[in-house]
Structure 1
Amino acid sequence: MSGPLPKLTPEQPPRSLYESAAKLYPRMAHGRYARLRLLAMFALLGLYYLLPWLQWKGQPLVLLDLPARRFHLFGTTLFPQDLVLLSALLAVAALTLFLFTTLAGRVWCGYACPQTVWTQAFLWIERAIEGERHQRQKLDRAPWGARKIAIRGARHAAWIAFAAWTGLSFVGYFVPMRELASDALHFSLGGWPLFWTLFYGFTTWGNAGFMREQVCKYMCPYARFQSAMFDRDTLIVAYDERRGEPRKLIAKSSGKPAGDCIDCTLCVQVCPVGIDIRKGLQYECIACAACVDACDEVMHRQQKPLGLIRYTSERRDQGGRFRLLRPRSIAYGAVWLALLAGFATLLLLRSPLELDVLRDRRQLYRELDDGRIVNLYTIKLTNKDANAHEFAVEAVAADGTQVELSPRSMRVAATETGSALVAALLPHDKAGGVQTLQFTVRAVDDASLSREHDARFIGATP
């Protein structure tokens, strides 16, 4: 039943459906987990910026050469024909994430996720220029003036330089880094390298400098489906409510004995996503353990046992024992090991040559004056080896007859694909009907580099 809409009174102001997120000022945490996060940040960023510069036997250690359709990965060159190998590698990576999420919760988010690592780096730059939490808050509240403009300008200049180097390093995984850096120093970057450098630099600047925890809360799908991989034994960061409650201020007003929590809120101040872990496990928590470090520091000063906030599990929190081996972890582990074994097998059995023999379909066959029957074939050979090779080409008929070929060799450069038009000739009495030829391509200087391929030979109908 419809009726008149209620009128708003001064005591009932209109409510917006959208509320902008409050800016966070994460406080610096000190402790073993903070040191571990710092070590992980330097190790991962160092690896990211160093890898494009490294070379192996004259080739970049990591280079995804899309125009040439070659992928140089740690001394191995992969081609589009190796798609199954790349797919297996991605499957292993996904199962690794699932397995470690089941065992250790969101440790990836807290220590190794690119969003976390670059946000931590940007925060480190921000603290170095603007100071600690209270100094940054004070600077935000201060009116604009020469000092504020200079400090903010220095911070953004450092951010932009760091983001630009990040974007250039990312492009260095697709374009040889030494050439790219030389072009950048001479301000002669080409169109696409320049575009992607600016694009990824701007993305880094925006995500790590401004969006930060909003990416984890609203954009990252991992935070949404992680609960499907959690069980009662998954490692989480939790507050010991039985030990900490009632908090000091609440206990003082109610006259009850106080718990160990003194309500200093340091666990909230150091949290990079701005949650209060004392309200229970929340999907925003990235398990970085900054709150654990802050609380342990306070408990140490208060001469109370550490671990009011700690890594634990739901079962352990309820008085049980943590179980590493349980049906879910065993299932994920078994699938992960199977995929890892499959990937290793594919890698070990991977041939350094790819051979394809295509019969010319424009004519069935051609008969020469001397009675021999000719079929034409296009031989495509991909040499995945690091060296160029001269390859001998041979063919044998189904009855063991050696087939005459012209030409009988082809040269293919390292990590290149070569092709040759080859004529196969059989005597008239050996070339009746349709039969199968077995082509063999073998490196002249290395007999272990060989590949076989079957193709049809069409001769004169008897």
Structure 2
Amino acid sequence: MDSDHNLSTPVDDYFRSHLPNQTTGGNRQWLYPRATSGRFTRWRTVVAIGLLTALFAGPFVWVNGHPLFLFNVLERRFIFFGVTFWPQDFYLVAIGLITFIVFIALFTVVFGRVFCGWICPQTIFMEMVFRKIESWIEGDYTARKRLDAGPWTTEKIIKKGTKYSVFFLISFLISNTFLAYLIGRQEWLALITDGPGKHLGSLAAILLFTGVFYAVFAYLREIVCTTICPYGRLQSVLLDKNSLLVAYDYVRGEPRGKLKKDSVDRKGDCIDCKLCVQVCPTGIDIRNGTQMECINCTACIDACDDIMTKINRPLGLIRMDSQQGIETRQPFRITGRILAYTAVLASLVGLLVFLLVGRPALDVTVLRAPGQLFQREANNRISNLYSVEVINKTYGALPVRFVPQQADAVLRFVQPLNRVQPGELTKTLFFISLPEKAIRGNKTTLTIDVRVGDAVVDQIETTFLGPVNPE
């Protein structure tokens, strides 16, 4: 090779026009990733166990009598870490989503697509659950390949039937877990104890999602990461030469070639064993450079380090590094782009914390009753009818009073409202009456204090309709 440019040029550029799981004829090529072992694999296993435990325990963990997480779309009630959010808190959810997107952008700018390989539920379930079960039942990657290529024997039918039955049961478990997140622990337990005959709609939904999960993990697999998921394309925009990612050190590794004793030709450290390709769950060759299909799972790092140890060469031929770091041998540095993302993220987090701390305990909405003008009452008084909705965002019952600031205004409820139960939406109606002589226009602005005990927790402004007083 004559130059650094040539050193960085992939040996085979077929990957640029074809997906790694695609044959020359355009059909799908089934992947059989080889199992790995090593420091990154061990850490990924620890992270996966922790995340899987949190996922399955999440809907069943309650704090002070309330769920830690709940995503009840039907009732529009959401609980994050024990804090309840209602539709009136949509602005908080929107800011939270923007904050999360900025965090993902910052995380990708710094660490590439490591989220996909270490945290994404698709990868964790596929590599740490379904793939391991497949290996336990059918054998290692060569045994699985032979089994799929062979005829349908009794052994193959038993192994395939067992594997797909276990896959379906795990998918059913995942579906039930997500349902528990949506409707809550108590309602989910009611579905289980009452029997499926009383909840046919819920059973149909569970079976539908079970089928989706089963199809993803039994058939689609890496297609979710390489084709369906938009994050792979998003990272192409966010990455730059300073982003940390799983990278092949072509400066040290090329020209690659088989290791030969007493050879006078000095080659690079890569012996072209292709283990990095064999262990890749998306089937790419990391030596071709940064690719959208790479999920930064670090399996190729463990495989390559194992070979480097055996041939007595330094570790890290494939490692977490930046393109700039490989080219210049300079350590990772914080760039202005990273600082800008960090500043935006810190501002959004600060704003979100400020709004959460200042969020009122009660959310009150007062509206004039539709289709109503005003009513005349005894003693020359005019009244208007209003509807009120009160949401108690705390976990304790709150005594509530509505007090008009106008001294001559009288407020009376159609149905008494003295106490709002925790986490509930309460609706009722009330009348406000004013002396006719106090009305100076067809619309009068009224202010209502919402009190919990002696403290004013909110002030509501509304309009009062009445006849124009000629005096």
For normalisation by structure 2, the TM-score amounts to: 0.87
Q: What amino acid is the match of 1:260?
A: D
Structure 1 unaligned spans of 5+? 1-15
Determine if the alignment matches structure 1 residue 387 to structure 2 residue 396: yes
**Equivalent residue in structure 1 for 2:220, among 211, 218, 224:** 211
Determine if the alignment matches structure 1 residue 223 to structure 2 residue 232: yes
Q: Which residue of 2 aligns with 1:11?
A: none
Q: What amino acid is the match of 1:34?
A: T
CA change 1:360–1:281 in 2 (3 A) is closer
- The alignment-based identity, stated in percent, is 35
Q: Which residue of 2 aligns with 1:273?
A: 282
Q: Which residue of 2 aligns with 1:312?
A: 321
- Aligned-residue CA RMSD (Å): 2.4
The answer on whether the counterparts of 2:247 and 2:321 sit within 8 Å (CA) in structure 1 is yes
Determine if the alignment matches structure 1 residue 140 to structure 2 residue 141: no
Determine if the alignment matches structure 1 residue 27 to structure 2 residue 34: yes
**Equivalent residue in structure 2 for 1:162, among 154, 162, 170:** 170
Instruction: After superposition, give the CA deviation of every residue in 1:61-99 in whole Å (9 maximum; x if it has no partner).
Output: 212223322222222211111111111111111111110
**Equivalent residue in structure 2 for 1:101, among 108, 122, 125:** 108
Q: Which residue of 2 aligns with 1:416?
A: 424
Q: Secondary structure at the match of 1:377?
A: strand
Pairing 1:33-432 to 2, within 5 Å after superposition? 33-120=40-127, 121-181=129-189, 183-184=191-192, 186-188=195-197, 190-249=199-258, 256-360=265-369, 362-397=371-406, 401-407=407-413, 409-432=417-440
Instruction: After superposition, give the CA deviation of every residue in 1:328-386 in whole Å (9 maximum; x if it has no partner).
Output: 11121111111111211121111121112222464543333322232322222222222
Partner Cα distance (1:182, 1:409) in 2: 31
Q: What amino acid is the match of 2:123?
A: T
Q: What amino acid is the match of 1:122?
A: F
Partner Cα distance (2:141, 2:196) in 1: 38
Matched residues, number: 442
The answer on whether the counterparts of 1:53 and 1:178 sit within 8 Å (CA) in structure 2 is no
Q: Larger deviation: 299-308 or 180-189?
A: 180-189
The answer on whether the counterparts of 1:235 and 1:311 sit within 8 Å (CA) in structure 2 is yes
Q: Secondary structure at the match of 1:249?
A: coil
Instruction: After superposition, give the CA deviation of every residue in 1:219-243 in whole Å (9 maximum; x if it has no partner).
Output: 1222123121111110122222232
Partner Cα distance (2:159, 2:252) in 1: 44
Q: Larger deviation: 182-191 or 80-89?
A: 182-191
Q: Which residue of 2 aligns with 1:6?
A: none
CA change 1:409–1:205 in 2 (3 A) is closer
Q: Secondary structure at the match of 1:23?
A: coil
Partner Cα distance (2:301, 2:224) in 1: 23
The answer on whether the counterparts of 1:85 and 1:343 sit within 8 Å (CA) in structure 2 is yes
Instruction: After superposition, give the CA deviation of every residue in 1:293-330 in whole Å (9 maximum; x if it has no partner).
Output: 00101111222111111111111111152443212111
Partner Cα distance (2:410, 2:139) in 1: 80
Q: CA deviation at 1:281?
A: 2.0
Q: CA deviation at 1:122?
A: 0.7
Q: Larger deviation: 450-459 or 88-97?
A: 450-459
Q: CA deviation at 1:145?
A: 1.6
For normalisation by structure 1, the TM-score amounts to: 0.89
CA change 1:273–1:194 in 2 (3 A) is same
Partner Cα distance (1:90, 1:200) in 2: 25
Partner Cα distance (2:234, 2:82) in 1: 36
The answer on whether the counterparts of 1:27 and 1:133 sit within 8 Å (CA) in structure 2 is yes
The answer on whether the counterparts of 1:103 and 1:329 sit within 8 Å (CA) in structure 2 is yes
Q: Secondary structure at the match of 2:328?
A: coil
Structure 2 unaligned spans of 5+? 1-22
CA change 1:225–1:374 in 2 (3 A) is closer
